[in-house]
Amino acid sequence: MASVLPLTDPKLIMLCVLCLILGAPLLFERLRVPPLVGMVVAGMLVGPWGFGILERDNSFETFSLVGLYYIMFMAGLSMDTSALKQRRTEVVSFGLLSFGVPFALGYGAAYWGLHMGMAASVIVACILSSHTMVAFSIASRYGLARHRGVTLSVVATLISLLLSLFILAGLSGAWDNGQSSTLNVQCSVANIQWSIPLWLVILGKCALFVGAVLWGLPRLTRFAFHRLSDDVLQYIFVMCAMLLCAVVCDWLGLEGVLGAFLCGLVMNRYIPESAPLMRHIDFMGNALFIPYFLIGVGMLIDIRLMFESTDALIVTAVVVVAAIVSKCLSAVIAARIFRLDSNCRLMMCGLTTAHAAGALAIVMVGRRLLLPDGSSLVGDVLMNAVVMLILFSCIFSAFITSAAARRISLSEVSTEEQQGVEDKMLVALDNEEAMPNLVNTAILMRPHRSTTPLVGVRLVVDAVGNERELQQARQLVNDASMIAASAGISLKKVVRSSVNAITGLSHLMKDFETSEIVMDYSRFSVLNSQLTSELLTTIPRQITVVHATQPVNTLRRIHVVVPPLAEKETGFVRWLNHVLRLARQLDCSIVFYCNEEAWSLIGERQRKHYIKVKARFHHFSDYGQMDDLKDYVNDDHMVVIIAARSGSVSFHPLMHKLAATVSTIFSAQSTMIIYPDQYGIEVHNVAFELGVRSKE
């Protein structure tokens, strides 16, 4: 058996890992243990300190490192950046608490409790003050990536890790600058010559890196997304950007996880939560990279070392208790200061107590620092204690985070999402080039948690017997279905032949009981004014006409032009929900051009249901002077025009030729024209009036 194990055949190694990824969650879920713990325990069992089935070779090192970067990248990608800006005081305060309390408690426990030297105590304090967002995938799986407690915890992770590495770099630099001869296990603060130029160099590197990423990465991302329409190529670009930021960060002497997080934070607004690309990123992380990281962490753990001696048991107990208690104490203090509820406090405790990669990186630096007698500053006993800390803190973090996520999911239900669940969109597909943007726009405007499918329709006018055209229509609908499926959304595929496009769409809306139509401008523009009027009177439900000049996820601002008295119309709330959802998903600002009466209702709804959306008001009362807005609109903005049907209270004569006017004024910008619901408009397109109307 010794000649067979550990496995060396790459096929068997990969098979074993995939079996662990598949089987461990299923087994541990039946035992009501979080799958994250199952992955760590599975790594312990198959690793070199368990049954010796697998060896932690270079492949595990590579995939584990990418998995760690992936966790931090997804944390930045999923973060609610608007909440981050609004709660700057909270996030910075909790970050400093999450660093300061564990650092002070860790230093005191090591220096006075375990009688370690000053330098070794600083190493212990840095280990305890840093933490790793191992349990972030649990919060993300419950759809809580933008929860207040999660946002606070993510920023606290970066602040605590950055400050820990900052102090560690100062200690290591002073040690390497010829001070090791004067340093011993009982050295005092005065013995270490903290070099001020060294601190300035570190700060300069941080500022240079952050500035370069914030300036260059958005431009590179917009350039790539403009030219890469394929989802696979977009995903490869995202991975390249993440790893490039991590590599540059490492090259500058910082920690790669900081680069991965910053990359995710910058790309946050270009990858909406409901976009197919986001689903690809989430899928690959949870299916491969993050499980590899967790299994790799488990393979480091040898639980027998804790019981080798009394000293090892005492050091392990002190380190583990001090780490967990100090992190929980930080969360409790922050929750008291900012009056956070118990669920938020529990989530913060769960996410900030896990130690993994950061602790290992710090302890490895300590192992490289040598005392005058040639021994390592961090001995085997402390090294084993840190390994045990990784095991127990990950288990504790997983259980607490799972409990908090379940409680939050049961107690916090979005009223706005409940109100929009009934929305059922019919997407009228016509143009192969415009189809991806049309489907993505519909996805972004629908309620995020809605289970109602989209209806993708390709209506072919008078194509009976034309099998070639019908086959092209089926292919177009299939492609649209694949885009929706990649975002986790069901799309019903419908191909119909009709002698009249308007009656065909009307019948399809009734057949599938849809509440609105989303169509491309190319279909709408071919209709003359008489047919346009017929379309609007035949279909009283909301009609949204989209013309996209660039990928919708690269838009930076939305301008919404609202006619006077639009707030009196039946469909006011529906279209307002749509544009606010679109702004929230794209994480871009939105400007409403309207009068004070409409803004009072718009602002009230935004504050009540879409508080994270950055909305502004610009007084605008002359709907006929729409060309005055051109100076406010850039090429990477979208203009949304709210229209009305003839006979409604908000109708304006310009709306008779609105499509042509908008395409002339905003020819370089993405545009959207919305005709809201108009249940109260009588239809006069029948030849005879019977004098009797059905009561509905």
Q: Is 85 exposed, middle or buried (0-12, 13-18, 19+ CB in 10 A)?
A: exposed
pLDDT band at 56 (very low <50, low <70, confident <90, very high): confident
Please state, in angstroms and as integers, the Cα–Cα distance from residue 612 to each residue in 6, 270, 420, 589, 639, following that order: 52, 17, 18, 10, 21
Q: CB under 8 Å to 594, separation ≥6 — which residues?
A: 560, 561, 562, 564, 566, 602, 617, 619, 620
Q: Where are the alpha helices (DSSP H) in 446-549?
A: 467-486, 501-512, 521-525, 529-538
The CATH 1.20.1530.20 portion of the chain extends over 49-195+290-411
pLDDT band at 337 (very low <50, low <70, confident <90, very high): very high
| Nearest alpha-carbon partner for 132 in 61, 76, 72 | 72
Beta strands in 420-476 (DSSP E): 425-429, 454-461
CA distance 106 to 116: 11
| pLDDT given at position 654 | 85
The residue assigned the tokens 């084993």 is 384
- Phi and psi for 56 in degrees, rounded to 5? -80, 80
| pLDDT given at position 185 | 36
Q: Are 350 and 125 in contact (CB under 8 A)?
A: no
More confident residue, 201 or 549: 549
CA distance 302 to 387: 8
pLDDT band at 419 (very low <50, low <70, confident <90, very high): very low
| Nearest alpha-carbon partner for 476 in 439, 449, 513 | 439
pLDDT at residue 111 greater than cutoff 60: yes
Q: Are 362 and 375 in contact (CB under 8 A)?
A: no
Q: Are 37 and 398 in contact (CB under 8 A)?
A: yes
Chain center to CA of 524: 35
pLDDT at residue 11 greater than cutoff 50: yes
Beta strands in 324-453 (DSSP E): 425-429
Please state, in angstroms and as integers, the Cα–Cα distance from residue 215 to each residue in 211, 264, 271, 636, following that order: 6, 14, 18, 17
More confident residue, 216 or 625: 216
pLDDT at residue 252 greater than cutoff 90: no
pLDDT band at 178 (very low <50, low <70, confident <90, very high): very low
| pLDDT given at position 609 | 84
pLDDT band at 520 (very low <50, low <70, confident <90, very high): confident
- Phi and psi for 619 in degrees, rounded to 5? -65, 130
Residues 356-407 have pLDDT tens digits of 767 877 776 677 677 777 777 777 788 778 878 888 888 899 889 988 888 8
Please state, in angstroms and as integers, the Cα–Cα distance from residue 605 to each residue in 341, 417, 435, 665, 672, following that order: 25, 13, 31, 30, 21
The CATH 3.40.50.12370 portion of the chain extends over 549-679
Q: Where are the alpha helices (DSSP H) in 520-613?
A: 521-525, 529-538, 572-586, 596-609
CA distance 458 to 454: 13
The class (CATH top level) of 549-679 is alpha beta
Convert 194-224 to b/e letters by CB count within 10 Å (16 or more is b): eeeebeeebeebbeebeeebeeebbeebbeb
More confident residue, 619 or 621: 619
Write out the two tokens for 202: 């570190």
Per-chain mean pLDDT for the chain? 81
**413-538 CATH:** 3.40.50.620
CA distance 295 to 552: 38
Residues 284-334 have pLDDT tens digits of 888 888 888 888 878 877 777 767 778 888 888 999 999 999 999 999 999
Q: Are 287 and 78 in contact (CB under 8 A)?
A: no
Write out the two tokens for 602: 């718009």
**Highest-scoring range by mean pLDDT, 75-79, 131-135, 350-354, 648-652:** 350-354
Please state, in angstroms and as integers, the Cα–Cα distance from residue 457 to each residue in 31, 43, 426, 595, 672, following that order: 46, 49, 7, 37, 19
| pLDDT given at position 530 | 55
- Going 564 to 565 to 570 to 575, the CA torsion angle's sign is positive
| Nearest alpha-carbon partner for 268 in 585, 550, 532, 549 | 585
Q: CB under 8 Å to 380, separation ≥6 — which residues?
A: none
Percent of the chain with pLDDT over 90: 19
| Amino acid code (one letter) for 266 | V
For 678, the 3-state DSSP assignment is coil
- Going 143 to 149 to 153 to 154, the CA torsion angle's sign is positive
Q: What is the mean pLDDT of residues 477-502?
A: 85
pLDDT band at 684 (very low <50, low <70, confident <90, very high): very low
CA distance 452 to 493: 14
Write out the two tokens for 46: 């198959």
Q: What is the mean pLDDT of residues 245-256?
A: 83
Please state, in angstroms and as integers, the Cα–Cα distance from residue 535 to each residue in 161, 642, 648, following that order: 59, 17, 16
Residues 116-150 have pLDDT tens digits of 888 888 889 988 998 888 788 788 777 787 788 88
pLDDT at residue 422 greater than cutoff 60: no
Q: Are 527 and 500 in contact (CB under 8 A)?
A: no
For 565, the 3-state DSSP assignment is coil
Write out the two tokens for 104: 């002070």
Write out the two tokens for 51: 């049954």
CA distance 153 to 334: 11
- As a dihedral over the C-alpha atoms of residue 309, residue 42, residue 156, residue 361, rounded to 10 degrees, the angle is 60
- Phi and psi for 255 in degrees, rounded to 5? -90, 135
Chain center to CA of 352: 19
Write out the two tokens for 302: 């040898």
pLDDT band at 83 (very low <50, low <70, confident <90, very high): low
Q: What is the mean pLDDT of residues 465-492?
A: 84
Is-cis flag, bond preceding 6, omega within 30?
A: yes
CA distance 431 to 436: 9
Q: Are 639 and 562 in contact (CB under 8 A)?
A: no
The domain made up of 49-195+290-411 has a fold known as: Na+/H+ antiporter like fold (1.20.1530)
- Phi and psi for 334 in degrees, rounded to 5? -60, -40
pLDDT at residue 548 greater than cutoff 80: yes
CA distance 608 to 573: 13
CA distance 274 to 485: 11
Kindly report the pTM of this predicted structure.
Answer: 0.70
| Nearest alpha-carbon partner for 573 in 546, 545, 542 | 542
Q: Are 479 and 435 in contact (CB under 8 A)?
A: yes
Write out the two tokens for 464: 């009976």
| pLDDT given at position 186 | 38
- Phi and psi for 508 in degrees, rounded to 5? -65, -40
| pLDDT given at position 50 | 85
pLDDT at residue 433 greater than cutoff 80: yes
pLDDT at residue 197 greater than cutoff 80: no
Write out the two tokens for 680: 């109260």
Which DSSP symbol is given to 354? -
Q: Are 398 and 36 in contact (CB under 8 A)?
A: yes
Residue 293: left (phi > 0), alpha (psi -120 to 50), or beta?
alpha
The CATH 3.40.50.620 portion of the chain extends over 413-538
